[in-house]
Amino acid sequence: MRRSAASHVSRALVAVPLLCVLSSRVTRAQAPLAGGLGGSWIEASALSQSVTNGYGNWQGMYARAVRPSTMSTYYLDALALRAFGERGAQIGATARHDVSPHVFFVLGGSVGSGAPIMPRARADGSLGLRFGQDRRLQATVGLSYVKSVTTLSDVAGVASLAWYAPHALVFEGGVRYNVSRPGDIRSHRFTGATTWTPSPKRSFSLRAIGGSEGWQVINTTTTLQRFNSHELSVAWREKVSSQWALNAQLDQYSNPFYTRSGVTLGVARYW
């Protein structure tokens, strides 16, 4: 799969704030509905990651604003990143809508500033189904399109299955099958994740991802090609009052060319 630096960072950072969406429903072992928070919230995070083999360390800022309504939730995201000696920015918007308690869909898109570490444009769409009267099982399928600032582009199919288990536990597994062009390079990645929310104030998550990548754009003259990689993240979120929450996340990513590891710290405000 062709990957930019933003692809790795935005996916890892989004996993942390979404824990907050889970916390209001997970204690009843149900997949969450849109608008479950009952109010709007914003979050800001800063990241610092070290990279081996002279590829240059990463620093960045991420922000997210969330507006829930009766059957929908709207997200606005922004990312500023310095990676591989380049600077770039990306903004995106996502809408999630519940057609019924058992059917929902998600549509999203983003654009980059033109830096090679960011996609020029990205579009994602998925359909989700919740099964059972208590909605403990949730299946999602979707499509993704990513266009880089070079000639490279990706088309991918994604699928995942989540179980909202008793004792405030969520287990999720997913797969992404990707075709990169030019060259019709085919690759795949697998994801496994666990979230534990022992109280409405606190949540923990563990996420592991591994598989192959077709391309990874470093800059306008350097592109890594056809390799395997894996990544691991551990996150903690603490709601310190009715209006404020703190989060921390540790990440490690490794491929045959370099290893990247670091920390992300953030704060969220609720209304």
pLDDT tens digit sequence for 155-212: 999 999 999 999 999 999 999 999 988 888 899 999 999 999 999 899 999 999 999 9
DSSP state of 84: T
* pLDDT-above-70 percentage for the chain: 86
CATH number, domain 2-270: 2.40.160.60
Domain regions of the chain by residue span? 2-270
List b or e across 196-215, with b for residues whose CB sees 16 or more CB atoms inside 10 angstroms: bbeeeebbebebebebebbb
- Can the peptide bond before residue 182 be classed as cis, meaning omega within 30 degrees of 0? yes
Low-confidence ranges of the chain (pLDDT < 50): 1-2, 15-27
CA distance 233 to 140: 22
- Sequence-distant (6+) residues with CB within 8 A of 105 are 96, 97, 99, 125, 126, 127, 128
How is residue 221 written in tokens? Answer: 């003259």
Q: For residue 152, what pLDDT is reported?
A: 86
